Chains A and B, each alone.
Chain A
Amino acid sequence: MKAFLVANVALIIIAFGVNLALDNAGFSSANMTSDSNVRLGD
């Protein structure tokens, strides 16, 4: 079951890594329907 454990560790790393990368790239799907000129929930 080593492959299973390694795959799950990889899954966690990929998920956090992608999230970090997209955040750093300034991507936000929320910006497609709103932007900084529109204040929601402030």
Chain B
Amino acid sequence: MTLLRILLPLVFLVSFAGLSAAQDTTVNGVGVQPGKQTLADILARQRGEDVPFGAQVPRPAEHEAPPVSSQLGPLGGASDADLWRDIRADSGTSLSASNRGPAATVMMQESGIWWLDFRRGPLLTYGNAALAATVVLLAIFYLIRGRIKIEHGRSGITIARFKFIERFGHWLIASSFILLALTGLISLAGRKVLIPVFGLEAYSAYATIGKWIHNNVAWAFILGLVMVFVMWIAHNLPDRTDINWILKGGGIFGKGHPPAKKFNTGQKLIFWAVIILGGSISVSGLSLLFPFEITMFGPTFAKLNDMGVPQLLGFGPIEASLTPQEEMQYAQLWHAIISFVLMAVILAHIYIGTLGMEGAFEAMGSGDVDLQWAREHHSIWAEEMVAEKNKPASGAHPAE
């Protein structure tokens, strides 16, 4: 026990001696502080001598962190939360701009980058893929089914199917839609696809002319849409013939056609697609044409939240408080997405009205169709037309 009392202090002292020896480093008789490089080290390395690093490399200086409000502080100098909130959210009162526009005082909004990435990424890729897939599917359908012929041949007798004003409305909407679709695609695909191919200056001309056409031809599309809606809605209301038509697949495959009135179910679907999708495209287009005047999405999101629709689908409430720019961004995306859907529908419509079916184009070409074509595709309407034609004129009396 006595020995232990002597040894323990000795071990204690020896351990301290080791520590002090480790700190007391001396290089060529010059005292060196631990972790610090000396001038001698630097000069020795410059002479090409191999001076080890390690313990002699200077350790980072240990200082206190800069104050929060300093330039190098965590908040980068003066932190003014109210100022930044004003700049970001268009809710502040301390900002003023020389421009008096509705969005002038929103200087930052985070969703801009998301919108831009979506616009030049998935929207462009999947939108064009959908159009390409539609063309491929129609080509496959044509290869399998071929052109749908008039089964019993032409009768040589024609009946009036569409009046001049009806065909005028159809062609007004058709021509304007093709122009709008092409110029819209040019606008959407410009930066990613067309500029790399044609160059900035050539694309600038396309874009300028395309924008003018898109903005001004839109009114002809809207007028055509209204005309078509008014003229044809009575013929496009669903009725019992539609059930039979759908059950028989419209007679697309096999012989025989289900009875139909002036518009069969396929045409009714096209009609309502054009009216609903075209109407939605028109409203979102007006919202883009008159920036910040028509707010569609904020109020819609608020109503959906109130109805609990997002919650029902397992999402949280949608952010309904949108900046003016966000409204425009959503309008642009909606405008483009719905346009892609309508373009795909119209490609199918153009196919069946031209290449896909014998005798169909005449309805919108001359306005008169072959009686046999009418009997095969619109049998109820054809019989009505024949009965009307054979009806004696009012006031005429049958021969006695």
Specify which chain B residues have a CB less than 8 angstroms from the CB of A7 in the assembled complex. Answer: 167-172, 174-175, 224
Chain B residue nearest to A16 (CB atoms) is B216
Q: B272 near A: Cβ within 8 Å?
A: no
Q: B256 near A: Cβ within 8 Å?
A: no
Cα(A38)–Cα(B104), bound, Å? 12
Chain B residue nearest to A15 (CB atoms) is B216
Interchain CB contact under 8 A, B290 and A8: no
How near does chain B come to A4, taking the closest CB pair, in angstroms?
Answer: 4
Interchain CB contact under 8 A, B217 and A1: no
Interchain CB contact under 8 A, B292 and A32: yes
Specify which chain A residues have a CB less than 8 angstroms from the CB of B379 in the assembled complex. Answer: none
For A4, A6, A16, which residue has the most chain B Cβ atoms within 10 angstroms?
A: A4
Q: B159 near A: Cβ within 8 Å?
A: no
Name A's interface SS.
Answer: helix
Query: How does the 8 Å CB contact mask read for A23-42 relative to B, with 1 for contact and 0 for none?
Result: 00000010111110110000
Decide: A29 near B99, CB < 8 A? Known: A3-B367, A15-B213.
no
Chain B residue nearest to A21 (CB atoms) is B219
Cα(A18)–Cα(B212), bound, Å? 11
Specify which chain B residues have a CB less than 8 angstroms from the CB of A31 in the assembled complex. Answer: 101
Query: How does the 8 Å CB contact mask read for B89-110 relative to A, with 1 for contact and 0 for none?
Result: 0000000001111111000000
How near does chain A come to B187, taking the closest CB pair, in angstroms?
Answer: 14
Name B's interface SS.
Answer: helix
Interchain CB contact under 8 A, B171 and A3: yes
Interchain CB contact under 8 A, B291 and A11: no
Decide: A19 near B212, CB < 8 A? Known: A11-B175, A35-B99.
yes
Q: B164 near A: Cβ within 8 Å?
A: yes
Interchain CB contact under 8 A, B290 and A1: no
How near does chain B come to A28, taking the closest CB pair, in angstroms?
Answer: 10
Specify which chain A residues have a CB less than 8 angstroms from the CB of B171 in the assembled complex. Answer: 3-4, 7-8
Specify which chain A residues have a CB less than 8 angstroms from the CB of B172 in the assembled complex. Answer: 7, 10-11
How near does chain B come to A5, taking the closest CB pair, in angstroms?
Answer: 8
Q: B193 near A: Cβ within 8 Å?
A: no
Q: B316 near A: Cβ within 8 Å?
A: no
Decide: A14 near B220, CB < 8 A? Known: A7-B168, A7-B172.
yes
Interchain CB contact under 8 A, B216 and A1: no
Cα(A4)–Cα(B367), bound, Å? 11
Chain B residue nearest to A32 (CB atoms) is B291
How near does chain A come to B184, taking the closest CB pair, in angstroms?
Answer: 15
Interchain CB contact under 8 A, B99 and A34: yes
Specify which chain A residues have a CB less than 8 angstroms from the CB of B176 in the assembled complex. Answer: 11
Cα(A18)–Cα(B99), bound, Å? 26
Cα(A37)–Cα(B97), bound, Å? 10
- Which of B99, B170, B291 sits near A37, CB closer than 8 Å? B99
Chain A residue nearest to B163 (CB atoms) is A3
Specify which chain A residues have a CB less than 8 angstroms from the CB of B290 in the assembled complex. Answer: 29, 32
Chain B residue nearest to A5 (CB atoms) is B171
For B104, B164, B172, which residue has the most chain A Cβ atoms within 10 angstroms?
A: B172
Cα(A30)–Cα(B330), bound, Å? 19
6 closest A-B pairs by CB:
A3-B167, A7-B171, A15-B216, A32-B291, A7-B172, A11-B220
Q: List 23 A-B contacts (CB under 8 A).
A: A1-B365, A3-B367, A4-B175, A4-B364, A4-B365, A7-B168, A7-B169, A7-B170, A7-B171, A7-B172, A7-B224, A10-B172, A10-B220, A11-B176, A14-B217, A14-B219, A19-B212, A29-B290, A33-B101, A35-B101, A37-B98, A37-B99, A38-B99
